[in-house]
Structure 1
Amino acid sequence: MLGGIAKAIFGSSNDRYVKSLGSIVAKINDFEPTISVMTDTELANQTVLFRTRLAEGEKLDNLLPEAFATVREAASRTLGQRHYDTQLIGGIVLHRGEIAEMRTGEGKTLVATLACYLNALPGDGVHVVTVNDYLAQRDAGWMGQVYRFLGLTVGVVIPDIGEDNRREAYAADITYGTNNEFGFDYLRDNMKYDRGQMVQRPFNFGIVDEVDSILIDEARTPLIISGPTDDKSELYMLVDAVVKQFTAEDYEKDEKQKSIILTEDGTEKAERMLEDAGLLEGDNLYDIENTQVVHHLNQSLRANVMFRRDTDYIEKDGKIVIIDEFTGRMMDGRRWSDGLHQAVEAKEGVAIEPENQTMASITFQNFFRMYPKLSGMTGTAATEASEFFDIYKMNVVTIPTNVPVQRIDEEDEFYKNTTDKFAAIAKSIAEKAKIGQPVLVGTVSIEKSELLSEFLTKEGVKHEVLNARFHEREAHIVAQAGSLGAVTIATNMAGRGTDIQLGGNVEFRVGDELAEMPDGPERVAAIAKIKAEVAEDKAKVLAAGGLFVLGTERHESRRIDNQLRGRSGRQGDPGLSRFYLSLDDDLLRIFGPDTMFSKMMNNNIPDGEAIGSKWLSKAIETAQKKVEARNYDVRKQVVEYDDVMNDQRKVIYEQRSDIMDADTVDDVVVDMRAETVNNIVADACPPDSYPEQWDVEAMDIRVTDILGLDLPLADWVAEEGIDAEKLEHRIQEAADASIAAKSDDLDPETWISVEKSIMLQNLDHHWKEHLATLDALRQVIHLRAYAQKTPINEYKREAFVLFERMLEAIREDVTKVLAHAQFGFNPPTDLPQMPDIFTTHFDALSGDDDSADTDAGGGYGFITTRLPPMQIVQPDPEETLGMDPAEWEGRVSRNSPCPCGSGQKYKHCHGAL
């Protein structure tokens, strides 16, 4: 109670913070008289003056008032738009690395120019992250006018641009692009073999547009770069043969979750059979060495017990095709991940296609936390403020609107079932359409959009149906959603970043209707006519009550509902919003069939009749809060597990970077060799043991195998006074001498290149295998909870052990390859090319891969190894492909243009899987 009184008197902490920024806004306004009288040349020269002051030690914060005033004047001259004072507040918030929550229509795109310009002055680069490629291109071209006027360079990163263009875009002062493009470029850069091949600079400052969509909704799934793996067909078939011997008593299954676990007796049975098949290391199934086998065993169990032929999948033309559980349609081209599809193929005895193996991955949480300063903007962030601070250390600041909001948010209407609800929605839309009031309908899925479309067609209402897959077309339709009598059905997330203006959008209409008309008097007259029509229609729409936003279902997150509501009532326009709910809605089903909702609605409400109640709306909001909390816990757990991998990823990427930047890596190679020799001796000569107790035979085998040396170890061990340290010293000297003789046969530059190449390729190979093992470990670690152990702590412990083993294996393999290598007459000096890769990022809501088809291909740069000897081989550049498509497989990069001349990528044409 006291808190409420204090808030009423002094305002909320947000209100007080925003008010405190008023003094900075006043300083910006004080510069306006001086700056507004400058010539264009003088205004543009401000950038040079600011950079000079920075070079002399002045801080960005001191430059802020004058720099913001400069941007405001430049925007006024280039775009005809002058920043409001509330937009200046938004710019200050962005500069401080916070999230600016600004309602739809308040001009967030223009706000970003303030913080972008100021933070681009030091020359370290600014990234503006958008939700789709269309917005990245649009904003780079639109706001780029301001930056270029002031002498800054602007780049845009979109799919299907070459490496050189990407590098140039990242070198610009301000770079626009999508979250996926920035993330995948980071991963691809850390798979390259030369610093000059990399496209990104070190991160500096990032502004994330629609920050809630990118940092929360899309952060449920990681970015993954994968490539083809070794053929494991035999392993799948051997494990499948084991699983087919299990009986129902050997496992427990949960059909709802499609999960299955072995019983204690089943585990013992599996251990015996796997040992007989030669697949088990040691005698315990759950030893860390058997992580991969356990993973394949679990997937084979699921395939044999939980997945049914002709229900979950069918066999067609010798391939396993998934059946969509909701529509019953075949999903050609889609495959289950994590080896499940291969397990089903083994079960049915069809050809097993190799799975793609993860080569690099990162979550958006860990990617964006690499920016030294990160800020964001959106219309809806306050409901997730705690998550933004916990994960990203970013405060959410709600910026007041320039003009008070006039929109009316009505109570929800409840109906018994979906049919009644959609009939009422169609009737309400028809009534609004008759009076010319535009209606924007938000649905939760494409299927619901199509269902509502059928109802509207019966009512004779003309309407547009769109979803979030075709961004550019979508933007044009949504831009005109405020036109007189327009009815637009969109998924709740559709059209974000596009302003809905009452009466229609002049700019979009000019672009759509006059695209072919050349400049001249006729075009000027046509534009004037469009402006007059829009002004006339706007007056009619205002009279009809503004934009009516209609929600067909409550989303599990209040934020998504607020996004939809926020499309109406921009810049003080009148508006209306209302949600229609039914007992069939997913959110209401959370309460179950025997709840207060079903009892009240089934007993008291006649068919087709609605009920509206503040109490019911409050109950729905409470349910949403519970679901939001659950989803946050899920995302938090994803971050906790990825943090373990992230620490290791940083170590590996830093090592790669050090190797690429080093003039020579000879000292690292020497240390690796010394560590390897130390391990060989330590394994054969335990501490406090006598020479006669040493395992000389095993040591001799390893010295020959790893170091390629034939040494008189038995004679050395027989010498009087010998100890392990002296023995290690002799082996080390012999190994160093052997490598020195080999390096003397090559010129120093070539030898350095060979060492770098071998180190990088071994690092990448073992890191890839390590990622696969961690993925498998992640799938089964939850079983530790049955032993009263905390899974995340167990994961951290075992991941650390696996990482240590990986580093040891890298040292040993590098030493082994260099020791056995024999080079041809013309060993290559070029480092290998990046392998063929696939990028994936699954949309958490739709399940679609939204990574954009921009795989950075290249063919395999490879080393063919023979031990002994070793020959470094390069592909023959003169090799011709011929015209038979059957001969192209394995010789054409999957992302290269198809040799048939179709213009498509090979993987989408003759190389389609």
Structure 2
Amino acid sequence: MLLHCFCGQLIIEFVEKENIPLEGARPAQILLGRDTRPSGESLLEAAKQGINSILGAVAIDMGIVTTPQLHWMVRAQKGVKASELDYFEQLSSSFRCLMDLIPSGSTFNEVDYKLVVDGANSVGGEKLEVLKKRLDGLAIEVRNSGKDGGVLNEGVGADYLTGRVEEKRRWSEGIHQAIEAKEGLKIQADSVIVAQITYQSLFKLYPKLSGMTGTAKTEEKEFLKMFQIPVIEVPTNLPNIRKDLPIQAFATARGKWDHVRQEVAYIVENSEHLSNLLREWNIPHNVLHARPKYAGKEAEIVAQAGQKNAITISTNMAGRGTDIILGGNPKMLAKEIIEDQLLSGLTREAPNVEVDGGEISQKVLSKTKVKSSSLALLAKAALMAKYVCKSEGKSWTYQKAKTLILEAVEMSQSINLKDIEKLVDEESEMYPLGPTIALAYLSVVKDCEVHCSREGYEVKRIGGLHVIGTSLHGSRRIDNQLRGRAGRQGDPGSTRFMVSLQDEMFQKFNFDTEWAVRLISKITNDEDVPIEGETIVKQLLALQINVEKYFFGIRKSLVKFDEVLEVQRKHVYDLRQLILTGDSESCSQYILQYMQAVVDEIVFGNVDPLKHPRSWSLGKLMKEFISIAGKLLDGIKLKVTSIYKFIRQPNTLKADLLYDHRVLRMSYEFMQRHQHRKQLTA
């Protein structure tokens, strides 16, 4: 009843505040809706009773609805009676009109025509299933629909340097639980740190330490100071002919991005923004950023970034782990051709973008000339794939089908050609699907090698890979890694960094950029005109070095704090290593030594050998021991007077834990001296 009155009072206050007239010939109608939270039903019932009893209006329960859906029904109710079906009919009609506006000659692939909607683990995901049935021509991907529990805000962390999501990273001190509560997710317990160590201290545990990287020279002082390791430069295998063009500075971010677009019609901090700019000009491109959906296609996208006219946008190219070969990677390209031809026969399941990435670019595949002999082997493999699925009456999942192709590719690299041909030709009850795919792959690889070699020559002729950095990072090493993507192994290439004074590094560290603004304004008033010059480049690099010093200071402080625990940690790690690598006899010896040390500590803490045994704190001693021994002494009741009898019990484990010969020896000597004194005084 109290809840009903409270809801009614809230409604009265809302009606008065919004000036809603409720008087009239007919009672006013108020439409109510709720979401999927368990409390929604009881709150809705309380609101209905409050409206009926206090306002005298008619409350209409619309059930589970989205907020936009409820608003539409309220407006539509003024004309004719509205229903949920009417709402979805109107919404789907609007989407069809929107699709008609897309130019028919657009070069986008099928991924660009997909509508991606986040249901936020609530009613939105449920209602989108209804909308999907009415939009046959548009693929709708629903994330966090609520059916599978969702993973909203589960992978909250992203590695700033590599641009990858850290799936299991969680905020500490209750912050993550607060986010989970806000989003209506199951609140999970805070993670407990059992042990932690800095990288610097971890490296020092190794008896020998060395490393190899192409970008260590800028951090030479830190390596020398932290690890006492000098940096030695090794000459490149082939001469570096890459052109590192001067940094271009812009007063505003808009000017910088517009200039990038002009050079791109020649890329990662703001990748989605740049992607939208390129789409406005109908420039095909691939995108790599921190979202998990690109993880499955990351290696393929990077491997094909060296093809002619290919444009790849990445949050960060550092640590992507795949070389960019000019002209494209023939093995990756052959694998994509195999997947394009066979996946439809192996599975009816659509790819999961979150895991498998987007569809294969048909534009790239169409440029690759495959010989008729390879096409015949592909057709044979595709026919066998369909026949195997039909005869066995099953269809693999998309991921299983990709794994099957991958296993066939690995087979082609581990078994020689003649053995694969034998597996294909031999009679067997099982269809040789794997060997047939492997044979087709080997043939397609040869065609792709010819194609990539020809295209690689053309890419080198026009200047090689051009890398554009759209902001300076907090470390020159990261910028050098980005530059190092171009001009590998003597290939031609070029790099260019474009920065604006509104970039995050300048804003985050509150650098005074007024000098640069004044300098640029003296040269030009056009924000789209880049400024190049030794003076401004020196100033920008000086700011970057200050950021490096800031982060070095943080790392240095962490190492100092960690050094406090270093002695104890080394002792524990040495003991653990002895137990893990030693034999059973030595391990038992070490464990018994530590058991003895614990017993010694307890006994000497409660027994003074210089005093009479009656003054010993045997009760406290046994209490401390029992708190450690735990279940070993369950069911055994001890009295102080029977302690000596107990420690002489034949139970070896109890004797090992309790018996301390030194205490007994000192006690015996004490008793002897005490007896001698009594005789002297008698």
TM value normalised by structure 1: 0.38
TM value normalised by structure 2: 0.50
